[in-house]
Amino acid sequence: MSKCIKWTGTIGADGYGRKWNAIRKNWDQAHRTIYAEYNGDIPKGLVVRHLCHNKKCVNIKHLTIGTPADNSQDMVDAERQARGEQIATSKLTEQQILDIRSSSLSGIKLAEIYGVHKTTIYRILKRENWKHI
């Protein structure tokens, strides 16, 4: 793959470049505007994906369209999604997950100790949740 071309203009709080979109007459993500300048309108319901996984990249060779589900799968495949303790609403730590998995206590008792629902404990024990550890 060719090298990324890093956007040198304004960067938004979300980490994406910002560029004035003359067609829509507003500020837009730079990679979306550049994609549209080269390829025409982005079909409704589709997003512009970074094949390089670099939010600041505006290399047209690194940009493609796809569904939001495609974009989410890209994030998972590149291991860029928040997991475990990185999720703001997570009530447990990685150490607690390890402790739960090694415990001989019942799921109900573990749920009481850790202040979570028993279903959460069962999903942890079955490795449906916290799969990455």
CA gap 131, 111 in Å, rounded: 19
Q: Do the Cβ atoms of 91 and 115 come closer than 8 Å? A: yes
Give the list of residues 6+ apart from residue 25 with CB closer than 8 angstroms, or none: none
What tens digit of pLDDT does each residue of 24-76 get?
788 999 999 999 999 999 999 999 999 999 999 999 999 999 999 999 998 88
**Can you tell me whether residue 120 is helix, strand or coil?**
helix
Mean per-residue pLDDT over the chain, rounded: 91
Is the pLDDT at 103 greater than 90? The verdict is: yes
Q: pTM of this prediction?
A: 0.62
pLDDT for the residue numbered 82: 65
pLDDT for the residue numbered 132: 81
In the chain, where are the structural domains located? 18-77, 84-125
CA gap 109, 10 in Å, rounded: 52
Q: What residues pair up with 6 in beta bridges, in sequence order? A: 57
